[in-house]
Amino acid sequence: MPKVIYQDPAGVDHEIAVPIGQSLMEGAVRHGVPGLLGECGGNLSCATCHVYIDDAWRERVGAAEAGGFEDSMLENVSAPRLPSSRLSCQVPLSAELDGLRVRVAPVQT
């Protein structure tokens, strides 16, 4: 299982093994990572799973691939939208993402 390091808004790291195929959001919510709400359960309808992908991982994750509806949802997030912004419900885990680092956006509304 790939391990993901989630940094919560307080700066605390949470290293979690997330099954391949699950989304970053599912891994965070199932393990109680503070600050990441995922209110819609991954249906791409709330933007309460906003994260920043660590720069070293952006190309592998595809931060630039936040297209279509995800891109529209990111236009309305409460925390600043950065080039590394993604909705974690739209990032499925794969073996290639073992060691991925993400930072939970400080505000999720």
* CA dist., res. 56 & res. 47, Å (int): 23
**What pLDDT shows up at residue 76?**
87
Q: Looking at the domain that runs over 3-104, which CATH code has it been given?
A: 3.10.20.30
- 30 vs 64, more confident: 30
100 C-beta neighbours (distance < 10 Å), count: 22
Share of the chain above pLDDT 90, in %: 81
Confidence of residue 28 (pLDDT cuts 50, 70, 90): very high
Confidence of residue 65 (pLDDT cuts 50, 70, 90): low
Question: Global pTM?
Answer: 0.93
Sorted by where each begins, the domain ranges of the chain are 3-104
